[in-house]
Amino acid sequence: MTYLLGIDVSTTATKALVLDARGAVVGVASSRYDLATPKPLWAEQDPELWWQATCASVRQVLADTAIDPTAVAAIGLTGQMHGLVLCDEAGDVLRPAILWNDQRAAKQCAAMRQHLGLAELVRITGNDAFPGFTAPKLLWVRQHEPDVYSRIRQVLLPKDYVRYRLTGDYATDRAGAGGTLMLDLVQRDWSTQLLDAFDIPHQWLPPTHEGTQITGHISALAAEHTGLATGTPVVGGGGDQAAQGVGVGAVETGVVALTLGTSGVVFAASDRPLVEPAGRLHAFPHAVPETWHVMGVMLSAAGSLRWYRDVVAPGVEFETLMAEADTVEPGAEGLIFQPYLSGERTPHADPEARGAFVGLTLKHSRAHLTRAVLEGVACGLRDNLTMMADVGLTDVSEVRISGGGARSPVWRQIVADLLGVDLVTIQATEGAALGAGLLAGVGANVWPSVADACREAVQLGSVTRPDAERSDRYQTMYDKFRAHYPALKRLYR
């Protein structure tokens, strides 16, 4: 038998997943770790945690599955995006990694916009500057830690540090590199113009590769630590969202991936870059060769429901709340929820946006409140899909939904009715790690293309179809939802 290994270096754990040549998952192991918050709004991790967790998870999954390490045809990597790992001449880490959710670099983002201009920044990278991206963090280190900055010889993303420890080679994938704010979106390689504009040495950045290209091979030292076979190829892989897109089969135009988790993500593949002029959508290369993706992110999706349950109905099961909400007519009798409990990323890019219930009356019960939360989150997801249509994503044939919120048939129906499209559930729960394994399989010639790998491996579940009458009723409610944020924006300040 031929096997493939996907490694996912996430913010909370590193997961190792083994799948066979039919794309079936045969084993998963995970090793957890913590992050540090040395100051408010800071988030850091010691890269050694990722390496130790990688070794532990790989050894565990090899033991659990009892497969011969020489039967592993290739390895794919995925993981948290945007993190900043700084190495010196010897490849040693200079300081703790600054993670994707770290917010210290807001001033550096403003400086990037002012120096280059927002329009030019978006034209090159497809994105506005956000503190979570890699380049602003690097500029922060230059300003605040000059001694560290002077010793930098290599800048890596988290999963690419693990790649270096596995192979001894510096490399990155183009999907992950797109999230650094240093990549030319169209050319799919580092932007000479941007690096020169901010005086970032080109030699600090690793070579870029497509997600299915081989970037190196397992070294003898890594084989000793992990139990893998020396010489096993390691492919480019992708950032976690791109790999998740592969894991659910969103690799061709027309298929959209919707993640209804703590945050909400709407992700779509495209055969060309799709860029929102103000950078409110994220535009990156896909992990699929010569393909791009566009992505909208709302910060509090299922997180809104959890907050609501914990505050309004502590101890009540989610299923009970869902059943109550299902007794209320669409539109919750005029009650509308604004799901901006953590500010908002897409479509408003406003950290000062706030949540709100609008239209409360004495008639509204807990069931109405619950339904308003479910509908408000669904409206936020529709905002993302609408913005994608505005930049050219007009042919949506199917939305594949995953995440904890997708387990509720009531919520799925609300989302389907508001979006006006079929929702298809995904049976696999290990999307990003599975996607990394599928990319490895293409790199090892197990499948001729990523689309072929997905057709064989991605298992679809139930279909939720929109109800035409409810969709029509929701149009009026959605128009009111969209009017509320502009009306309340001044008060949020």
- Residue 262: the pLDDT is 86
| Residue 362 included in any domain | no
The predicted structure's pLDDT at residue 437: 98
Is the Cβ–Cβ distance between 211 and 439 less than 8 Å?
yes
In this predicted structure, the answer to whether residue 211 has a pLDDT above a threshold of 80 is: yes
- Number of Cβ within 10 Å of residue 361's Cβ equals 9
Give 121's DSSP letter.
Answer: H
Q: What is the pLDDT of residue 350?
A: 87
Does 78 have pLDDT greater than 90?
A: yes
Quick one: pLDDT at residue 195?
98
Establish if 455 belongs to a structural domain. Answer: no
- Residues 189-204 have pLDDT tens digits of 999 999 999 999 999 9
Q: Which residues pair with 260 in a beta bridge?
A: 264
What type of residue is 464?
A: T
Average pLDDT, the chain: 95
How many domains does one find in the chain? 1
- DSSP characters for 170-193? --EEHHHHGGGT-EETTTTEE-HH
Least confident of 208-222, 281-295, 344-358, 378-392: 344-358
Q: Cα 259 from chain centroid?
A: 9
Question: How far is Cα 194 from Cα 147, in angstroms, rounded to an integer?
Answer: 24
- Let me know if residue 433 belongs to a domain: no
For residue 446, is it within any domain? no
Residue 436 lies in a domain: no
Q: What is the pLDDT of residues 82-127, one digit of tens each?
A: 999 999 999 999 999 999 989 899 999 999 999 999 999 999 999 9
> Does residue 347 have a cis peptide bond before it, meaning omega lies within 30 degrees of 0?
yes
State the average pLDDT over residues 242-268.
93
Active-site residues, by number, are: 240
Q: Which domain holds residue 168?
A: 3-242
pLDDT of 140: 98
What global pTM score does this model have? 0.92
CATH code of 63's domain = 3.30.420.40
Q: What pLDDT is attached to residue 345?
A: 85
Is residue 194 included in any domain, yes or no? yes
Residue 352: the pLDDT is: 86
Q: Quote the CA–CA distance of 436 and 236 in Å, as a whole number.
A: 9
Instruction: Kindly state whether residue 468 falls inside one of the protein's structural domains.
Output: no
Question: Could you tell me if residue 52 is inside a domain?
Answer: yes
Q: Do β-strands 292-298 and 336-338 pair in parallel, antiparallel, or remain unpaired?
A: unpaired
pLDDT of residue 390: 93
Q: Is the pLDDT of residue 216 over 90?
A: yes
Checking if the pLDDT of 428 tops 80, the result is no
Q: What is the pLDDT of residue 28?
A: 97
Write b or e for each residue in 263-286: b if 16 or more Cβ atoms lie within 10 A of its Cβ, otherwise e: bbbbbbbbeebbbbeebbbbbbbb
